[in-house]
Chain A
Amino acid sequence: MKKGKADPCNYLFRRARVIDPARDLDAVADVLVVDGILTDIKPNIDLPSDRLAHFAVIDASEKWIVPGLIDMHVHLREPGEEYKETIATGTMAAVAGGYTAVACMPNTKPVNDCAAVTEYILERAREQGHCRVLPVGAVSSGLEGRSLAEFGELKGSGAVAVTDDGRPVANSMLMRRALEYAKNFDLPVISHAEDPALSEGGLMNEGPTSTLLGLHGIPKAAEEVMVARDLALAELTGARLHIAHVSTAGAVRMIGEAKSRGVPVTAETAPHYFTLTDDRLMTFDTLYKVNPPIRGPADVEAIKRGLADGTIDAVATDHAPHSSIEKDTEFEYAANGIIGLESALPLILELVREKTLTPSQAVAKVSCNPARILGLPLGTLLLNQRACMTYLDPEFYFVLDCTTFRSKSRNCPFHGQPTRGRALMTFFNGKVAFSRLSK
């Protein structure tokens, strides 16, 4: 590969499989990036040889070019817990994983429940970020579940949705008002569906494994009761509801039924919910401790079916960095959470290899669908715009090694697992934000 010295961002990808589900495109084509601008996508792009000398020409056969991936559910930990992650390290992890936009949850310290915090996040992202950061505001002030945060001001300063993620909105009246008031500002409300009385004291999925290990269980009903409530409230209010990190078969069934009735609901799941089952906890390994908990085999199958039939619109990572202080401790005291930005893509591509999803469906779950849910003009390959796209090898074999991750944290239960498929180059805003190709 050659690279023109004077032209830092001139690329010609030859014979890539270009997948852009927003435009129903899945075809082999050449992709031309001139000065960072995505200039052309078509078969056989011919450049005169004197111009070609200024381009890095890449043989992209058997590789994919897709819109820059969007992760609609991450925890960047800044402000407040920078020892776990920062906007700089979190977005570096994102581009290394193929993502060019991440929506960050408001459970920072301080909580993102006002314009000042949203603006702080966006300013840090501009200064130090490697990709787009989409702040999500709080539903309630301080995540305390008592009074509504100022949605208008949050939206005005750049928030793309509201949620109390990390905890549910336990008060049904507050949730009703949140949905109504968010509708006012055309903001989706993201539900962390958990009945806190039913999950109280719970450490893992309730079932045979929790019984055997003597760990307090969290029943599936703790999630399903709240999904049912929030679906009823979405139907009542007509407001846009998004269910985060769906983990149970019952939740998938109820969301599917509500969608078919026309309730304005969307849903996401995370790779660990379609990859892992709760028997992984048999060694009491706190890396598998996550909320909602990893469920059983029937739930994994239902999540996959929900992804395939469109009941579940998006795959997010719920990237939740924790340091060893929070994780390397007695099971009960260990924090919930798994990092995901640098391990998600191969796990999603596994759904393609096992034929659960078509390549186009898989790409949609992490591009145009999250963009549509958040109401943003992202997640598609736009010509004559600064390139925002991911070049990936769906068959690249490697062993997931969290010691090489860009994230500050290491709480990855997939460490050491042989896997296939990873981002080779991530273009953000017309620049190469990340590359695994040798210069």
Chain B
Amino acid sequence: MPFKRKDLLGLRELDVHEIEHILELAVSLKEINARPIKKVPTLRGKTVIHLFYEPSTRTRTSFDIAAKRLSADTYSITTAASSMVKGETLLDTVKNLEAMKPDVFVLRHTVSGTPHRIARHTTASVINAGDGMHEHPSQALLDMMTMLEHKKKLDGLTVAILGDIAHSRVARSNIWGLRKMGAKVILCGPITLIPPEAHTMGVEVSHKLGEIIPEADVIMVLRLQKERQQQMLLPSLREYSIYYGLTAEKLKKARRNVLIMHPGPLNRGVEISPDVADGPHSVILDQVTNGVAVRMALLYLLGQK
């Protein structure tokens, strides 16, 4: 089934076939990354602009490598998020860049919904590289690709997402993607970090890590932002790590083949202990590797038009 969309804004709007198509393509493109000469001419002559209104070296580098391996020309604009940068509004910026005829915008923004706004004002394709607390579709796709590599299927898997769900775009994209692919999703964290009425997204919610560890095929640990303490969401990082930090001790009750994932960057010793992050169940570096393949697939599908 061909991929007909102009933009990739989130996983909520994709159907199962589109997700399968992207993941299959990513698997086939991954092989390029293992070659001595890691470059194919697919997007030669195409222009990809990375527009990052929030710093993210990891995601930007991953997209940039993906674009270059497909031979696209890439440009990076990194700037602080604000409706006015030097008096210029976001739409002014987009219209100016649009006049330079790019093919794809890879956009990261601190405000939810901004890629949707930009997509309406440009004929170029827009790939959401993370918007506010809303979605981070390429991250969820690389997470799903990693699960597939190790578990062979997503249908029937139980995936626990642990930590600050309320502020996590990674969690939201994973929820939509995993639910569509037939996985069961359990959210786990203190009530202050679970979004209101989370069950309406078709997930289970638990506040006791000990109870969900034995059930999970995959435990996805989210990064805890230290400012949550100032926002009165937590009494202390110490208490958080006691109740919700993933340690080898707590993992003793886990399934034998459990996968431990983390979108990075890690706060070692807060949400995940070093021995777990580097332990036998961890696939954290596989996620990073698969990130390039997934982003190649997205650029391939959207950049060719």
Binding site for B on A (CB under 8 A): 206-208, 210-217, 219, 283-284, 325, 328-333
Contact = CB atoms under 8 A, between A and B. Distances in A.
Given A329-B83, A329-B89, A333-B83, A211 B196 contact: yes
Nearest to A210: B196
Contact of B90 (A207, A284, A330): A330
A215 B112 CA distance: 6
Contacts, number: 70
B198 A331 contact: no
Contacts of A206: 196
Given A284-B113, A330-B117, A331-B111, A213 B196 contact: no
B69 interface: no
B103 interface: no
A331 B197 contact: no
Contact of B114 (A208, A219, A328, A331): A331
16 contacts: A207-B197, A208-B196, A208-B197, A210-B195, A211-B197, A211-B198, A211-B200, A212-B12, A213-B134, A215-B112, A216-B133, A284-B117, A330-B113, A331-B111, A331-B114, A331-B117
A211 B112 contact: no
A331 B110 CA distance: 10
Given A214-B131, A216-B133, A330-B114, 13 more contacts: A206-B196, A208-B200, A211-B195, A214-B112, A214-B169, A214-B172, A215-B113, A215-B133, A283-B116, A325-B89, A329-B91, A332-B111, A332-B132
B250 to A, nearest CB: 27
B109 interface: yes
B281 to A, nearest CB: 29
A328 B133 CA distance: 20
Contacts of A328: 89, 91
Given A332-B132, A333-B83, A211 B201 contact: yes
A211 B172 CA distance: 9
Contacts of A217: 196
A210 B134 CA distance: 9
Nearest to B113: A284
Given A284-B116, A284-B117, A212 B201 contact: yes
B135 interface: yes
A430 B36 CA distance: 88
A333 B53 CA distance: 14
A284 B198 CA distance: 19
A169 B201 CA distance: 37
A33 B1 CA distance: 71
A214 B196 contact: no
Interface string B112-148: 1110110000000000000111110000000000000
Given A206-B196, A328-B91, A214 B116 contact: no
Interface string B1-24: 000000000001000000000000
B198 A330 contact: no
Interface string B99-114: 0000000000111111
A216 B111 CA distance: 10
Contacts of B133: 214-216
Nearest to B173: A214
Contacts of A210: 195-196
A61 to B, nearest CB: 47
